[in-house]
Amino acid sequence: MNSKSNPDSKIKLSIVVPLYNEADSLNKLHQEICASCEKITAAFEVLYIDDGSRDGSFPILESIHKTDARAKVIRFRRNCGKAEALAAGFQAAQGALVVTMDADLQDDPAEIPLLIARLEEGFDMVSGWKKKRKDPLSKRFPSKVWNKMVSMFTRVKIHDFNCGLKIYRQEVVKSLDLYGELHRYIPALACWAGFRISEIPVNHRIRMYGKTKYGFTRFFKGLFDLITVMFLSRFTKRPLHLFGLIGFLSALAGGGITLYLILLKITHVSNLSNRPLLFIGLLLLIVGVQFISIGLLGEMITQSNAHQRNFVIRQTLGL
């Protein structure tokens, strides 16, 4: 067995590659990753996370591992999704720097040195930007609209949230808790945690093998997860600020309608009980009280878990 290994005991660079049914591209991908990383350091590892592939991807990964010990494989029993695959890769990664990329050969491993150079300018994470994306218009246009919407709502000013090609310092990936579709919002999660992020244009290539794994339903999933991300980042520690505001506005509108109807009754206007406005006013009052109550319950739960701190320390002195 002609097995390659790192001469340095400490790994400096980890490449995390989540994959699902990408058998045709794996050998070429590994060759390109190694060719790029060997120009930077001999102390690197390539972590392949097989997300329940059924096309023979795992036997190919076994073969790659047998000939190159730098290739490490995590195999899921079933398809769990990209977020879970990345989470498993981040947990296993040992490098001080961690690069992620897709396995379909559309991400170019030759961009890794440029990502590292940008990171060393003082950033904690650098995201790739598929400025000249080699995908059909049916994918490019919705993605462009989606990225603008996410940038507007999260207030994180980058062009491409969902580019698979990214680089992180180890402390960033170890602080992320990914599930569902949250991998789409990693730049926002990192930024909100206080890490410094940036982006650079990267080469994007035409898909050579297989087909895309993402359908139209991903937009609905992504929308719900965007709401989740915004709530968790802004209101986890102060739920009354969200639910209380909604409840106050609802109760204020309901109270205003009710007061208006009372004034009409005083002026001897009959048959107020038959007016739909009465039911709308009462409904708004009830909904307002319920939202405020939910906010107060959330505050009680938050207070009971106040010992669980949610901050990331950048550095210390004298400790």
HEC readout, 13-37: EEEEEEECCCHHHHHHHHHHHHHHH
Report pLDDT for 242: 76
| Confidence (pLDDT) at 222 | 65
The ranges assigned to domains in the chain are: 13-234, 239-304
Mean pLDDT by 10 residues, the chain (319 residues): 52 94 94 95 94 92 94 92 91 95 94 95 94 78 82 85 93 87 86 91 85 61 70 69 84 89 75 76 89 82 59 49
Assigned CATH for 13-234: 3.90.550.10
Report d(CA 178, CA 87) in Å as an integer: 6
What per-residue confidence (pLDDT) applies to 233?
65
Contact 234, 310 (CB under 8 A): no
- Residue 306 token pair: 């106040």
Per-residue pLDDT, 106:
93
pLDDT given for residue 145 in this prediction: 82
Question: What is the pLDDT, as a whole number, of residue 316?
Answer: 42
Q: What is the pTM of this model?
A: 0.74
As a whole number of angstroms, the distance between CA 113 and CA 44 comes to 13
